[in-house]
Structures are given as C-alpha cells and as structure tokens.
Amino acid sequence: MNRILDELKGGLIVSCQAEGNDPFNSPEGVTLFARAAEMGGAIGIRSEGIEKTKMIIETVKIPVIGLIKSQFEDGYVKITGSFRDFEDLLQIGCRIIAVDGTFRLREGMSGPEFISKLKRKYDAIICADISTYEEAIACEQSGADCISTTLSGYTFETKHLNTNKPDFDLLNRLTKILKVPVIAEGRYNKPEYAAEAIKLGAWCVVVGTAITRPRIITSWFVDAIENAKLESNENISPDFE
C-alpha cells in the first residue's frame, strides 16, 4: 500500500468525471480523458462509477482512485457511502477508494466510524474525503490511509467556503498536523494553485474541472466575454460575428 501512495507523491492526479448529458459521460469518454492525462504526465486518476472506473483501470498504467457518488438527505454529495459501493469498487480491482469522511451519518455511522469498520474488514487503501479540520483528525485516528480536502465547500456546514479559490487554510493546517498523506483537492483550477498546494506540503494535487470539463471551461470564457460586453456597453460589430 505504501508503494502505491509513494507513486502519487509530488504529482498531479486528474479527476476524470462527467455527469448528466455531458457528451463525455460514458466509460469511453472519461477513459479518453484518463489516457490524455497519463500522456500529459499525470501520476494518478480519480474516477467515479463502476463501469467508468473499470475501463480506466484496464486502460491506464497509473494508480486510480475510485469512488461512487450519491447524495445525503440534504442533497449534498456523498462519496462511497455504503459497504455495497465499497465492495463493488473492490471487485473491479480498485486499490484506492475514496470514502466520505465527514461526520454526516450513513448506515447509522459517521464517516470516521464507517472508515474504521472498512479498515477492519477489507484490504484496500482508503482516501478519506473531508470538509473540516476536525473530520480529518478523526479519519486519521480511524485508520484512513490518506486524507483529501475534497469536500471543503461542498457540505452544508462549509458551503460558505465555496469561493473561486481552494481552501488553502485547511490544507496548511492539515499538512502540519497529520502523519498520513494530505491530498489537495477542491477548486485547484489554476496551475499556480496546484503549485501553492505542493509548497504548503500537499502529498499531491487533484484537478478535475479545469482539465476534464470542456463544457464548463467554455462557459467560463463565454461568461467573461458577456460580462466584458456589459461593462463596456458596446456591441460586437456584425462584421466580426
């Protein structure tokens, strides 16, 4: 297990995910992203869903972090929140599995309690996705092999942190106190943000949207152009349409 985590140290993990009616929302679509990421120098892939993750594992040579998304009752995202989800990922050969490490209850257990039971029952590397400092500490004590800041800004308690920048403060605090690897994830959508994460002591950095969501990236540019037009109160000449 340590060997696999060592392979991820100091590098970029690309989250290859697609949802809804996105044209890349298929095993083939996200696997093409994974292949491109590997060619570009990524040292790992993060993938959601059984069929998609299975195809990626069979295609790339770098480690794959697998997960299954669902929702809590409040509508916020849940990451691999059941024994069935965990077992399904194990059966396709997933060696690293992301698990919701928040204090929210699933199957009558908090994230740290769930992780503790998983570690006693299964042989797999568990990456605890957390949203707060306290959750991270509890997950490490429960046996999580690594901690990821994935959910900071994506729970009801932390939604106020969902700004245009990553939660550098949380990352900085965790790298100073935790003994297990700390993975930087969540709004690391600029190269300089990823570089800053490494400087703060992150084991590695996960980037998703800025690399594998062309529809969203396109909307960033479209919105910027539209805002510029409104601010300048000028119309684009028909000759340049």
111 close to 128: Cβ distance less than 8 angstroms: yes
Query: Would you say residue 174 lies in a domain?
Result: yes
Domain extent, residue 122, equals 2-212
Residue 221 lies in a domain: no
In a domain, 233, yes or no: no
Query: 100 forms bridges with which residues in the sheet?
Result: 129
Q: How far is residue 153's CA from residue 171's CA, in Å, rounded to a whole number?
A: 13
CB atoms within 10 A of CB 190: 14
Q: State the pTM of this model.
A: 0.94
Task: Kindly tell me if the per-residue pLDDT of 236 is higher than 60.
Answer: no
Q: Average pLDDT of the chain? A: 95
230 inside domain:
no
Per residue in 121-130, pLDDT (tens digit) is: 999 999 999 9
Task: Report yes or no on 167 lying in a domain.
Answer: yes
**In this prediction, what percent of the chain has a pLDDT beyond 70?**
96
Q: Into how many domains does the chain fold?
A: 1
CATH code where residue 101 lies? 3.20.20.70
Task: Spell out the alpha helix ranges (H) of 15-68.
Answer: 27-40, 50-59
Domain membership flag for residue 40 = yes
**21 in a structural domain:** yes
